[in-house]
Amino acid sequence: MSGWGRLSVENYRGVRLPRVLGLVLLAAGWLSAPLLDVSAAGWGVAVGSSLVFGAGLIDDLYPMGPRGLRRHVRSVVEGHMTTGILKLLVVVACAVVVVALQPVRDGWVRLLGVVLIASCANIWNGLDVRPGRALKAFALVVLAAVWSVEWALVPTLPGMTVVLPMALVADLSERAMLGDSGANLVGFTAGVALFTVLPDAGVAVVAAVAVGLNVLADTVTFSRPIERVAALRWLDQLGRTHVER
């Protein structure tokens, strides 16, 4: 199969879908950025988001290695490089640069900001296993942050927000999906948005929660608690054209 043909993959039900929604969100984000008075920090976010998307795209097109962060780390320890570890290195490096370019905050807050952003990118990767799950979580972050975020610091967010309903409909109806590229993009963007709006103590709390969610995703998986908690199960199934009974 050719490289671009690899963008089409079977979802959890065996339906073959193109993993292109991340590209739509990235393009919309870049279209919105020039309309704003973007700061150096904002351009750092735009470039960093693109690099994170690109690393995820490599993982989509040429997956190499096992699934799950622990297994990727084990493979590297055994001397086998994986695309998952490459993606993680890119995400962490981009998070470091983005946080460094943001307005001055204490060193410990910046360190936790890197943890928060990188953890969010991986969390959204773990959420993208059912239609609409990752984009619904992104929508919740957007709704929480939209009233206080400085657009110049996250200039891709307005454009992504505009096309989010369209992307969510396509995801829920199983016409397209995010893939690793799109999931890492929205997770990284969500992490940056949270870092810019949260107070110092809030960054610490949310970073700790994000690390905990990563542990959950890598051990129990998100699907198990979502399916067991009625409210989460209802939200997860909301709008989906196919619901398991």
Q: Where are the domains of the chain?
A: 19-237
The sign of the dihedral angle between the CA atoms of 103, 105, 107, 112 is negative
% pLDDT > 90, the chain: 62
* CA pair distance 41, 241, nearest whole angstrom: 40
Q: Is the pTM of this model over 0.75?
A: yes
pLDDT tens sequence across 60-73: 887 665 555 555 45
Quick one: which of 159, 48, 38, 26 has its CA closest to 100? 48
User: pLDDT at position 30, please?
Assistant: 95
Does an H or E element contain 192, and which? helix 179-197
Name the band, by pLDDT with cuts 50, 70 and 90, for residue 9: confident
Three-class DSSP category at 9: strand
Alpha helix (H) ranges present in the chain? 21-32, 40-61, 69-77, 83-101, 107-127, 133-145, 157-172, 179-197, 200-219, 223-228, 230-237
Are the CB atoms for 45 and 176 separated by under 8 Å? no
Over the chain, what is the mean pLDDT?
88
Question: Quick count: other Cβ atoms within 10 Å of Cβ 48?
Answer: 25
